[in-house]
Amino acid sequence: MTAHPRRYVLPYRPEDSRIRLVVGGAACTGDRAGALPPEERALVRIWMESGAPAPPESEPAVDLGRPGGQELLRRIPRGAVDLRLRDLSPAIIGRVDDLPLRLDFGATTACAWLVDAADAGSRLDLFLAGRLGALSRSAVQRLIREGLVTVNGAPGRASTKVRAGDRVAARVPAIRPPGVDAQDLPLVVLLETASFAVLDKAAGMSVHPGRGRLEGTIANAIAHRWGLGGAGGGAHRPGIVHRLDLGTSGVMVVAKSEAAHAKLAAAFKARAVRKEYHALAFGDAAYDEQRIELPLGRDLVHKTRMAVRFDGGRAARTDVTVVERFGAATHFLCRPLTGRTHQIRVHLTSVGHPLLGDAVYAGNRPPPVGVARPMLHSALLAFPDPETGAIVEVAAPLPADFVAVIEALRGR
Which pLDDT tens digits describe the chain residue by residue (412 residues)? 333 333 333 333 323 233 334 333 322 233 333 333 333 332 222 322 223 333 333 333 344 444 444 444 444 443 333 323 333 333 333 333 334 456 666 777 888 999 999 999 999 999 998 888 667 777 788 889 888 999 999 999 999 999 999 999 998 887 665 567 889 999 999 999 999 999 999 999 999 876 656 788 999 999 889 886 656 666 667 889 999 999 999 999 999 988 899 999 999 999 999 999 999 999 999 999 999 999 999 888 887 889 999 888 899 999 999 999 999 999 999 999 999 999 999 999 999 999 999 999 998 899 999 999 999 999 999 999 999 999 999 999 999 999 999 999 999 7
pTM, entire model: 0.65
Answer whether 289's CB lies under 8 Å from 319's CB. Answer: yes
Confidence at residue 273, expressed as pLDDT on a 0 to 100 scale: 97
User: In terms of CATH, what superfamily is 189-410?
Assistant: Pseudouridine synthase (3.30.2350.10)
Name the burial class of residue 109, with classes exposed (0-12), middle (13-18) and buried (19+) by CB atoms within 10 angstroms of its CB: exposed
- Looking at residue 308, its pLDDT comes to 93
What is the C-alpha to C-alpha distance for residues 214 and 209, in angstroms, rounded to an integer? Answer: 5
Whole-angstrom distance, CA of residue 20 vs CA of residue 50 = 11
Cis peptide before 14 (omega within 30 of 0): yes
pLDDT the model gives residue 46: 33
Parse the chain into domains and list their residue ranges: 6-96, 103-175, 189-410
The CATH number of the structural domain formed by 103-175 is 3.10.290.10
Catalytic one among 245, 311, 385, 401?
245
299 is catalytic: no
pLDDT (0 to 100) of residue 329:
97
CA distances from 49 to 15, 46, 132, 355 (A): 11, 10, 21, 50
Nearest to 39 by CA among 17, 59, 23, 61: 23
Kindly provide the b/e burial profile for residues 117-144, where b requires at least 16 CB atoms within 10 angstroms of the residue's own CB: eebeebebbebbbbebbbbbbebbbbbb
